[in-house]
Amino acid sequence: MALIRLLQRTPDGEIVFREPTSGDVPAYAILSHTWGKEEVTFQDMEANADMSKAVSKAGWRKIQFCADQATADGLQYFWIDTCCIDKKNAVELGAAINSMFRWYQNASRCYVYLSDVSKPEGAGGERAWKEGFRTSRWFTRGWTLQEVIAPRLVDFFSVEGQRLGTKLSLVAEIREITGIPEKALRGDALSNFSIKERRSWAERRNTTIEEDGAYCLIGICGVSMVLNYGEGRNHAFSRLEKEIHSMYKGVDFEQFAVQLNLASFPEAAQFVAREEELSKMHELLHGHSSRAAVVLHGLGGIGKTQLAIEYIRRHKEKHTAIFWLNANDEDSAAQLSQHCSTSPEVSPLD
């Protein structure tokens, strides 16, 4: 992941860059918005730049809003795409776009600034902003798809900077507007949704630059790719497809040979996933093209079954078939293995 360049408000109120370092990244807020006229760029904010030019631009209002809101939430640092990326540097731009999903995912808070939604004072204010919310341009843009899915905490604000609600409090409205399942909006792992379904969430969205229609899906699809502006929309999507198939080693992850109903699996209410073990399992099972097996062993009740189920939830789309077998004794395992080899559709078995 590329190093992130953050903005910070100094004790005297000045807004300056915190240069990226290889050390730990401090807690930060991140802005989601739609681009407009006179956005503040990286060049406007450089150390030797005339800040009066940046402050005079219409886009400064967003920077000031983000700084104020971050301060109110106890955050010293914040990130805005208009000025925190040097877009004249092709290498930096490419690294940033490939890292952006994780930058939003790692943010302490995400502020969605809706420049076309107003919340007037008075009795009609509530109705006015809700009508504007449903038709906001923000819901039609390609890049904002990952910006609503990736962050854990998302707050929506009107053009006046008035808080309208959170991703969770507005989840029903967002689901209806976008078609994104509520589980995805509530933070379910994207691996629980097929690539086809994830891409469908962007079908009614558009981007100013045609190649960005594909590039804005890099994080959503969990891949990385070199940017090549000028290649055209079709070629960009073709390369995205190749990266997806390369990531999943050519498996036809859109069509399961055996149907799998995760709701039938036993689930512990207080299970906490062990990331180190899950990463090791993924490395062993998906790190090469040959046949592989992983055995989870240990005392009863320490979470072996739940660990296996969590792995399935995260990586089910990378496999054409998953069988859940009762191997409490040798006879049961033998019978179920025979059943799996002869039945065209097998439900999970406990």
pLDDT in tens, 264-315: 566 555 566 577 888 888 878 876 556 788 888 888 878 888 888 888 777 7
User: Last residue of a domain, which of 189, 223, 247?
Assistant: 247
Average pLDDT over residues 146-164: 96
Residue 74 lies in a domain: yes
Mark whether 13 and 144 lie in a shared domain.
yes
31, 151: one domain: yes
CB 304 within 8 A of CB 296: yes
Same-domain status, 80 and 172: yes
DSSP string, 149-203: HS-SSEEEE-TT--EEEETTTTHHHHHHHH---HHHHTT--GGGS-HHHHHHTTT
Per DSSP (E only), the strands in 230-337 are: none
pLDDT of residue 348: 41
Q: Please indicate, yes or no, if residue 155 is contained in any of the structural domains.
A: yes
Residue 77's pLDDT band (cuts 50, 70, 90): very high
pLDDT at 347: 42
Residues 224 and 183 in one domain: no
Total structural domains within the chain: 3
In this prediction, residue 251 carries a pLDDT of 56
Whether residue 116 lies inside any domain: the answer is yes
pLDDT band at 125 (very low <50, low <70, confident <90, very high): confident
The answer to whether residue 349 is domain-embedded is no
Q: How confident is the model at residue 345 (pLDDT cuts 50, 70, 90)?
A: very low
156: β partners: 112, 165
Note whether 29 and 101 are same-domain residues.
Answer: yes
d(CA 55, CA 32): 20
Domain that holds residue 318: 262-342
Residues 73 and 176 placed together within one structural domain of the fold = yes
Q: State the Cα–Cα distance between residues 79 and 7, nearest whole angstrom.
A: 6
Looking at the fold, whether 113 and 159 belong to one and the same domain comes out as: yes
**8 Å CB contact between 135 and 117:** no
**Is residue 254 in some structural domain?**
no
Looking at this protein, which amino acid is placed at residue 194? Answer: S
Per-residue confidence band for 344, with pLDDT thresholds at 50, 70 and 90: very low
Based on the fold, state whether residues 39 and 188 are members of the same structural domain. yes
The mean predicted confidence, pLDDT, of the chain is 86
Q: Which residues lie closer than 8 Å to 40 by C-beta, 6 or more apart?
A: 54, 57, 59, 60, 62, 63, 82, 83
Q: In this structure, are 119 and 218 located in the same domain?
A: no
Q: How far is CA 131 from the centre of its chain?
A: 27
Selection from 143, 41, 158, 56 nearest residue 111 by Cα = 158
Instruction: Examine residue 255 and state whether it is found in any structural domain, yes or no.
Output: no
- Token pair 């502006």 is found at 229
Higher pLDDT, 350 or 44: 44
Give domain status of residue 229, yes or no.
Answer: yes
Same domain flag for 221 and 296: no
Say if 28 falls within a structural domain: yes
188 and 239 part of one domain: no
Mean per-residue pLDDT, 9-32: 87
Final residue of a structural domain among 192, 224, 247: 247
DSSP per-residue string spanning 212-249: HHHHTTHHHHT------TTS-HHHHHHHHHHHHHHHTT
* Same domain flag for 152 and 195: yes
- Residue where a domain stops, chosen among 216, 247, 278: 247
More confident residue, 134 or 289: 134
